């Protein structure tokens, strides 16, 4: 018998896990409803559609990522310590079921139709803003922005390599590169 009451946050947490594990296209509303203990009609009542559910999941995941990873940028410790802590937390999230970055996977999977482009761009903006503000403690704003952009690209590339062969050395090499690059000059390129 389906549950009659389940907190919205719990629904989103469970559905995030399912979308991360199986992907958007392979996840049916029935699969999600069964996982949370609701009927399909119950999910439709709360979210309107599978797309509406995914939008809510992306918002929930974004807030969770902000709290778990990006808010580290505001802590009182050295830049290097905060970067390392953020990288450890990113690696932990990406290593869940060895599925990689939920946001990057969603971009790749839904790139043709692009139904979640706005939500995914918000994630990127949050990421770049937090990193730029933290790096601006040491570098000019323009240089901090460029370094944040490069770190994001390096992080996502390292994650893809990790997904390919499950070799944790990709994370260690990323950490080394990011810390080494703090000491190297950066040429600022305009988009």
CATH code given to domain 1-58: 1.10.10.60
What is the distance between the alpha carbons of residues 178 and 27, in angstroms, rounded to a whole number?
36
CATH number belonging to the domain at 69-191, selected among 4.10.520.10, 2.40.110.10, 3.40.50.970, 1.10.357.10: 1.10.357.10
Residue 77 structure tokens:
């410790």
| Cα gap 143→79, rounded to integer Å | 15
Predicted confidence at residue 74, as pLDDT, reads 97
Please tell me whether the overall predicted TM-score, pTM, comes out greater than 0.95 for this model.
Answer: no
Chain-centroid distance, C-alpha 162: 15
pLDDT the model gives residue 1? 47
C-beta separation of 12 from 60 below 8 A:
yes
Q: Is the pLDDT of residue 50 over 80?
A: yes
Q: Taking 80 as the threshold, does the pLDDT of residue 3 lie above it?
A: no
Query: What 3-state class would DSSP assign to 79?
Result: helix
> Would the pLDDT of 7 be above 50?
yes
CA dist., res. 102 & res. 106, Å (int): 6
Tens digits of per-residue pLDDT, 56-103? Answer: 999 999 999 999 999 999 999 999 999 999 999 998 888 776 678 899
Domain ranges of the chain: 1-58, 69-191
| pLDDT per residue as tens digits for the range 131-140 | 999 999 999 9
């Amino acid at each position: 018998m389906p549950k009659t009451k389940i907190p919205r946050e719990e629904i989103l947490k469970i559905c995030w896990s399912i979308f991360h594990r199986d992907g958007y296209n392979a996840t049916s509303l029935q699969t999600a409803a069964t996982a949370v203990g609701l009927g399909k009609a119950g999910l439709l009542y709360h979210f309107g559609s599978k797309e509406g559910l995914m939008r809510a999941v992306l918002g929930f995941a974004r807030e969770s990522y902000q709290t778990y990873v990006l808010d580290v940028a505001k802590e009182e410790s050295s830049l290097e310590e905060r970067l390392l802590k953020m990288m450890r937390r990113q690696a932990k999230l990406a290593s869940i079921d060895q599925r990689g970055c939920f946001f990057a996977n969603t971009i790749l999977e839904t790139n043709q139709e692009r139904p979640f482009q706005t939500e995914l761009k918000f994630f990127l903006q949050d990421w770049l803003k937090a990193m730029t503000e933290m790096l601006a403690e040491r570098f000019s704003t323009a240089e901090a922005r460029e370094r944040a952009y490069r770190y994001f690209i390096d992080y996502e590339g390292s994650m893809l390599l990790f997904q390919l062969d499950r070799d944790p050395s990709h994370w260690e090499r990323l950490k080394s590169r990011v810390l080494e690059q703090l000491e190297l000059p950066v040429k600022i390129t305009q988009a």
